[in-house]
Every structure is written in structure tokens, then in C-alpha cells.
Structure 1
Amino acid sequence: MKIISSCIFLLITVCSLQMTAQVQDSVLTKEEVISRALMNNYGIKIANNQVEIAENNQSILNSGYLPSLAGVAGANYDLNNRITEPENGEVLEQRGIENNSYNAAVNVNYTLFDGLGRFYNFKSLKEQYNLSQLEARETIENTMLQLLSIYYEIARLTENIQVLEETLEVSKERELRAEYQFDYGQSNNLAVLNARVDVNNDSVILIDTRQQLANSKRDLNVLLNREISAIDFAVDTTVNFLPELQVESFLSTAEANNVSLLQIERNITISEYDIKISRSRYLPSIGLNGSYGWNQNRSAATAFFPGSTTITDGLSAGVSLNWDIFDGGQTAVQVQNAKINYTNQELLREQIALEVKRDIANALNNFENKFYIYRIQEQNVSTNLDNFERSREEFSLGQITSIEFRQAQINLLNARTSLHLAKYDAKLAELQLLQLAGQLLNVEL
């Protein structure tokens, strides 16, 4: 029997270690979640594709600086009947007269000068590429914030389930104790019913929380582009806050790193180039052109001339000047509208700068309050835990009623769940502050 017991104990130990290893293997860390989102999230994929399009647009192939080369070729065939009636002579009738010609050419065109329009357009395309990178960064930041919000919600519900399971276990112990007391005549059936009601209530809350956890895991799977039903995983419930001095350092450089302010700066630069592009139409454009051509023409014989075949080939080159001295005022209107758009972008920069300052102030105040509440909730849990342990001892000694003990149990449950909520609320408030400071992608979470 001792050997069998030892074997059973060893088997249980091995199974426990395997289950622990499996649980550890199924834990999704924050780093892994972020890495998967960067590779699989649809919104991030679309944003990266937009950056790729902008990169193609700002290449030399789309600048207008390269010449154009075109090849042309053609063939003509004529089949005619001809009647020649001279004034003094015999009428000559010809049928099935064939004429054909062939031609081929290679044409080269190059814009030597276009009023600097393509020069500023090329610079504008590079700025649009920079802007697309900032837009992709904004998409990544928003996705990360949404991702971590769901991740921490899963962590909060996970910790709440642990607390609810402990609460349910205590309620079941109280129900069992009440049944024993009733069996031995030490209490009435009302105590058993009250304990059973509390067990049922705790069970319902636990089931509901587990359902919320499953739903949140599915939400996370959508963002990670994973199988929706793959919810057999856990998350890391560890939360670390950045040092206060580091946060202050980030806030001091927020105006230089905030993605909204960086985007408006790029838009202002693009608007400035748009003015110069519009002004380029006031200047003439000079173009160079060249071609190499080959032609063959075969004509049938007539009454007066024999048939012949003519072949020609050669090079040609030229310079062209095009200057719209007056285009009806269209260029003037474009320049005026470009200037107005530039002014609007500057006004928008001032507005966004003011809004960013407000948002940072609100986010900082929100984080400080959330973090303060989190510290208070830690003290509150310690106080309620001490009260619950004392109430548990007194209840076991019959010094307090089951209602009083239940109240201490509920107070501890509420304190612990409030602590979890305050902890993750404070972390999300810190993340929002880091996003406004432009440092969300630069810190270790």
C-alpha cells in the first residue's frame, strides 16, 4: 500500500507539473501580444500598405525627372482600280493596283525645365511619405492602446475570478457549517437557507464573470487576427508603473514627439510646396525631343510612271518652348487657394497645439488621481482583510451572526475587486499619457 500511495503521489506530482508547464506555455505576455498585433492586425497591415504606396510615389520613377521613350509603328495597304482617259489617246484601265507602306520610329521626350514644378512636387511627395509614416505610427499607437486595454481587462477579470472562487469557497464552508449545526440542533433551518442563498449568489456572479472573461479573450483574438474560439490562454497580471521622473522627462518633450503635432507640421510643409507648385505655372517650360524613324513606301506602276519602292530612315531632334502668358486667371486662383490652405494649416496647428496641451494636462491629472485611488484601495484591502479574518474567528466562535460575517465577506470582495479595477485604470491612464507625450512605442510595458 505504501508503494502504491507513493506511486499515486508521484503521478499526481508529475501531472501537476505538466499542467503548470502547460499553463505557463499558454500565457500570452504583453510583449508577445504586441508583437503578434504588429504582424497580424488588419488595421496595422493597411497602414503599412499605405506607407508602401507613399514610398512608391516618392521614388525617382514618379518624379518627372526621367525622359519618356515611346516606340511607334504602322503599316498601310491600298488596293484600287484606276481608269486613265487621256485627251488624245487610248483609255487605260488598271485593276488591282496595290500600294503599301511601313513605318517605325522611336521618340524621346524630356522636359528640361518646367518652372520648378516637378522639383517642388518631388519634395512634396517625400513629405507625403513622411506623413504616411506618422499616420501609420498613429494607427499603431491607437491599436496598442486598444489592445492593452482589452489585455488588462482580461487580467482584471482573471484576478476577480480568483477572488470570487475564494469567496465561493468560504460561502460553501459556511453552508456546510450551518448544515452541521442544524443537524445537531445548534441552529435553525433559516441559517442554512441564508448560507445557501449566498452560495447561489456567489456562483451566479462567478459564472457571469467567467463569461465576461471569455468575451474579452475573443475581443483580443480579433485584434490579433487569431482563431476566435482560441480562448484557452492566460495573461500576465503583473503591472509596473514608470518612475515619476521618467514621466516628467517625457512630458517635457511632448510637443516635439506628439504624433498629431508632427502630422500638422508635415501638412504645413506640403501646403508650402503646393504654393510653389502653383507658382511654377507662371514660368515657361522647355522640352527636348528626338526621334529615329524608318519608312518604306511601295507604289504600283501607273500609265506614265513605273512602280517604285522608297526607303527612308534618319534622326531628328528639336527644342520646344511652351509659355502660357495668360491662362484666363486659373494659375492666379490656384496660387491664392494654396495660400489660403497654408494659412488654414497654420491655424490648425495652433488649435491642435492648444488641444494637445489640454489633453496632456487632463491625462496627467487623471493618472495622478487614478494612481492615488489605487494606493488607497491597497490600504482598503489590507483593512478589510484584517476585518474579515477577525470576523471569521468570531463567527467560528459564535460571537457574531452569519449576516455580520457575510457583510465582512462582501466588504473584502468589493475591496479586492475595486483594487483590481483601480490598478488597471491607473495603468491605462499612464498609457494614455504616454501616447500624448509621443512615447508609447518607446517604453517597456
Structure 2
Amino acid sequence: MRRIYIVPILIFTFFSKGNAQEKLLSKEEAVALTLENNYGINVAKNFVEIAENNKSVLNSGYLPSLTGTAGANYNRSDSNTEFPGQLLEDGSLRPDAEVNKAESQRYNSGLNLNYTLFDGLGRYYNYKRLKEQYQLSELQARETIENTMLQLFSVYFEVARLTENENVLQQALEISKNRNTRAEYAFDYGQNTKLDILNAQVDVTNDSINLLNVQQQLRNTKRDLNVIVNQNLEETYVVDTVVRFVSKLRLEEFISQAQSNNVAVLQTERNLKINEYDIKVNKSGYLPTIGLSGSYGWNLNQSAPSAFFSGVVFPGTNTTSVSLGLGASLTWNLFDGGGTTVRVKNSKIAYENQEMLKKQVELEVNRDIQNAMDIYKNRLNIYNIQEQNVLTNQNNFERSKEQFQLGRITSIEFRQAQINLLNAQTNKNLAKYDAKLAELQLLQLTGQLLNVDL
């Protein structure tokens, strides 16, 4: 009869030893691994780096442009010049003028400098706009980090909950095995029936299956956590099951400062500032543009020999020249068909839309914070009730155990007390982590998720 339970006992022993050898993955270590290795966070950091490059003076338009040019030309030619019917002074025919392997070279180089002295302040406001865009990118990266942290702790606390449930089910299995052993001894001495043994065996089997299912869920959830922290999927560890809640006074302080810390509100403020600069950039089209230019050039011309009068070959020449230029220009688009006016009007409308969006986001954030606070209080109350419920069911189970050992209640009544305790313990675990996740969501809305010790 007892051989039936060798497999569950071996499975239980295997996982118990495995858990004892696993390292601890603390909350702080999980956060550090996520910030360093998570793909989504690293992509967000790269976008911030791009925005930082864009806001540098190298992308501002304030620096001049300097262009260098250089060129070289080579030419070689053979020529024969005839003078048909032409006579020299002595009456003889004019001879042909022949030039062979006549070579000519041309070399030139130059520098051109252009600088926009004034462009209607468009460059100035665009530079400020790029700085605001950089701050917006930082806020977007922060939002990505906050969402990833919330995802991290959702999975982390799920691992913790399943770990505690595993321990509860292991205890339940141990109780059922002990009960089965007692039933077999009692049957051997004629103190109970075969039915008591069968009931105990059914409960051992059910508890073994429940334990195996939870252990499978735990392994899967650990893989989910490994994906978030970006480490080997088969990495094994145990997590910290201790939960600490933020004090009520500190939460109230966070809520009072939520409008100045909430990432969604801060993003709308940055977008509003960007739209304000868009208006000013477009208005710069009404003003003139003043530019300065300078140039420096060097030329060398080596001409080829050429035929001259009376068949004489005139030798080539070398000509070197250096030039220096400086200029200023003023461009004023007095009328561009109304394009600038349309752009200014549209940017003003976009600014008004952003103002309304900011008010809407502030209203929604206030609503979400109040809802999150109510949810948190409710879940915290449920957790406190479940803690008391565990104590009640623990006392009930201990009394039932005594009565069962004295033969005053049946195995079915004892099993019911055991199930009630098991349900109370798992419900308490669920309520504890639900309350903590509700607190984390509240901290995210108040903009403090990355600033508190979790």
C-alpha cells in the first residue's frame, strides 16, 4: 500500500533540495539587472542619446560652414599650322609651324566660408526646441523604465506568491502523508476501515498533483522573470518574499506632489513648450536673413607652347594667382504667397490643442490616483482580514487535528479543516502581493516608483 507514494515523495524531496541550493535574487539585484540588460530600457536610452546629439551646438545652425575645393587639369597636344599661299619677305613660302608634345596644366584650390548672422531668430528658437525635445526624450525613457519596473515586480511578486504557495502545498502534502501512515497503522490494528486508507490515499494524490502544478507554474514564471532581466532562461534562484508597505503619511505626501512628478503630466508640459517654440520658429519667416561669406582661392596655369609668326614657336607661360573675397548678403522674403502666415496659424492651433490635452491629462491623472488609492486601501484591508483568517483557520485546524487523533471527528471533517487552512493561506498570499502591486501602481502615478525602496 505505501509503495504508491514513492514517486510523490521523491518529487517533493527533489524540489526541496533544489530550492535549498538556489541563490537569492533580491529586489535590488533584479532592478539592477533590468536597468542594465533589459532590451526595452536600452532602446529607450539610445533614443535619449540621439536626442542629446540633436541638441548639441553642432546641430544648432550657429556654426559657420567651411567648404574646400581643389582641382587639377592636364592636357597634351600635337599641332601643325600651315600657311598656304603666304610668302616670306624673301619671296619663299612660309614654312609650317609644328608643335609636338605641347603640355599644359591647371591647378586650383579654394576655401569658401558662409555664416548666417541673423535668420529672424528661427535658429535660436529651434535650438531651444531641440533642448525641450531632449527633456521630452528623457521623460519618455523614464516612462519606459517605470512601466518595465512595474512589469518586473508583477512577475517578481508572482514568483514570490507561487513560492509561498509551494511551501503551503508541501506542508499539506506532508500532513496528508502522515495521515495516510496513521490510517494504515490503525487498519493493521483493526481500529478503522479500508475506506479511511483510500480517502487518505486520494488526498495524498490530490496534494501531490497540486504541488506539481504549482511547481510547473513557478518554473514558467521564473522564465518570464529571466526574460525581463535578460539572463539565461534556465537560471534558477529564489526570491525575497518579504513585503514592506510605504507608510500612509509618505503616500499622502507623494499624492500631494503628484502633479509635479507624474511623467504623463510632465510630458504634456514639455510638448506645450515645444509647440510654443514652433510658433516662434514659424514667425521667423517674417524677418530677413543676413549672411556673411568669405573665400580664398589659389590658381596655377601652366600653358602649352604655341605657333607664332614665321613658324616660330612661342613658349608656354606659368601664371599663379591668389584671390581673397569677403561679402555680405541680406535676403528678405517680403511675400511668400501666405505660406508663413498659414504655418503660424496652424502652430497656434496646435498649441491650443496641447493646452487642452494637458488639462485632460491632469484630470485623468487625478482620477487615476484617487482610484488607485481606493484600490490600494481596499486590498490592504483584504490582506489584513486574510491574515486574521489564517490565524482562525490555523486554530481550527489544530483543534480538528487533536479531535481527529482522538477519534472524535471523521477523516472527511479533518480534511475539510485542512482545505480551509490551505485556502486561507493561499488567499493571504494573493492578497499580500495584490496589495503591494496596487501600491506600486499608485507610486507610479505619483511619479515616485523609482524613488522609493521596494
Q: TM-score, normalised by structure 1?
A: 0.92
Select the residue among 122, 130, 144 that pairs with 2:135: 130
Residue 435 of structure 2, aligned match among 426, 439, 445 = 426
Counterpart-to-counterpart distance in 1, 2:190 and 2:277: 93
Paired AA for residue 346 in structure 1: E
What is the match of residue 371 of structure 1?
380
Deviation for aligned residue 1:49:
1.3
Give the 3-state SS of the residue equivalent to 1:317 in structure 2. strand
Match of 2:245 in 1: 241
Aligned to 1:311: 320
Q: CA RMSD in A?
A: 1.9
The equivalences for 1:346-425 within 5 A come to 346-425=355-434
Q: 1:329, 1:378 → 2: CA distance?
A: 72
Q: For residue 57 of structure 1, what is the aligned residue in structure 2?
A: 54
Question: Structure 2 CA distance, aligned partners of 1:382 and 1:419?
Answer: 11
Question: 1:126 and 1:206 mapped to 2: Cα distance?
Answer: 56
- Could you report, residue by residue, the CA deviation over 1:167-218 in whole angstroms, capped at 9, with x for unpaired residues? 0111111111111122222222111111101100000000010111111111
- Larger Rg computed on CA atoms: 2
- After TM superposition, give the deviation of residue 101 of structure 1 in Å: 0.7
Q: Residues 3-82 of structure 1 correspond to what in structure 2 (within 5 A)?
A: 26-80=23-77, 82=79
Q: Deviations over 1:65-116 (max 9, x none)?
A: 1111121100122334556566973464545443321000112111111111
- The answer (yes or no) to whether the contact 2:172–2:207 under 8 Å persists in 1 is yes
Corresponding residue of 1:204: 209
Q: Give the % identical residues.
A: 61
Q: 2: distance between equivalents of 1:322 and 1:352? A: 44
Letter in 1 for 2:220: N
Measured in 2, the distance between the counterparts of 1:270 and 1:344 equals 13
Matched ranges for 1:296-335 at <5 A = 296-304=300-308, 306-335=315-344
Distance 1:333 1:79 in 2: 60
Cα distance in 2 for partners of 1:275, 1:85 equals 74
Q: Which residue of 2 aligns with 1:10?
A: none
Tell me which amino acid in the other structure corresponds to 2:23: S
| C-alpha spacing 1:333/1:88, structure 2 compared with 1 (3 Å) | farther
Quick check: 1:265 aligned with 2:264?
no
Distance 1:164 1:23 in 2: 17
The correspondence for 2:181, drawn from 154, 160, 176, is 176
Cα deviation 1:286-330 (Å, max 9, x = unaligned): 111112110011112333464211100132111112222222332
The runs of at least 4 aligned residues of structure 1 exceeding 4 Å deviation read 22-25, 80-88, 90-96
The 5 Å alignment of 1:281-300 reads 281-300=285-304
SS at match of 1:237: coil
Could you tell me which amino acid in structure 2 is paired with residue 149 of structure 1? S
Query: Counterpart amino acid of 2:235?
Result: A
Aligned partner of residue 300 in structure 2, secondary structure? strand
Residue 134 of structure 2 aligns to a residue whose secondary structure is: helix
Instruction: Give structure 2 stretches of 5+ with no counterpart.
Output: 1-15, 87-93, 309-313
SS in 1 for 2:320: strand
SS of 1:229's equivalent? coil
* 1:440 aligned counterpart, secondary structure: coil
Deviation, 1:333, is: 2.4
More deviation, 90-99/397-406: 90-99
Quote how far apart the aligned CAs of 1:348 are. 1.3
Offset at residue 387 of structure 1 (A): 0.6
2:62 alignment partner AA:
Y
CA distance in 1, matches of 2:316, 2:285: 53
Q: Is the 8 A contact 2:111 2:297 kept in 1?
A: yes
Q: Which moved more, 1:427-436 or 1:75-84?
A: 75-84
Distance in 1 (alpha carbons) for counterparts of 2:369 and 2:121: 42
Task: State the partner residue of 2:311.
Answer: none
**Kindly tell me: are residues 343 and 84 of structure 1, through their superposed partners in 2, closer, same or farther at Cα, counting changes over 3 Å?**
farther
Q: What is the letter of the counterpart of residue 263 of structure 1?
A: Q
Q: Which residue of 2 aligns with 1:436?
A: 445
2:244 maps to amino acid: N
Structure 1 unaligned blocks of 5 or more: 1-18
Task: Note the alpha carbon deviations across 1:217-258, whole angstroms, 9 max, x for none.
Answer: 111111111111112x11111111111111011101111110
**CA deviations over 1:29-53 (Å, ceiling 9, x no partner):** 1111111111111111111111111
1:389 corresponds to which letter in structure 2? Answer: E
- Which one-letter code corresponds to 1:66 in the other structure? L
Moved more, 321-330 or 294-303: 321-330
Sort the Cα spacing of 1:42 and 1:356 in 2 relative to 1 into closer, same or farther, 3 A: same
Q: Which amino acid aligns with 2:319?
A: T
The residue aligned with 2:121 is: 116
1:146 corresponds to: 151
- Paired with 2:412 and 2:21, the residues of 1 have a C-alpha distance of 40
- Residue of 316, 332, 342 corresponding to 2:351: 342
Helix, strand or coil: the match of 2:307?
Answer: coil
Query: Would you say the 8 A contact 2:98–2:307 is kept in 1?
Result: no
Quote how far apart the aligned CAs of 1:332 are.
2.2
* Aligned positions, number: 425
The residue type paired with residue 210 of structure 1 is Q
Cα distance in 2 between the residues matched to 1:341 and 1:75: 54
Deviation at 1:129, TM superposition (A): 0.8
Q: C-alpha separation between the residues in 2 aligned to 1:23 and 1:387?
A: 31
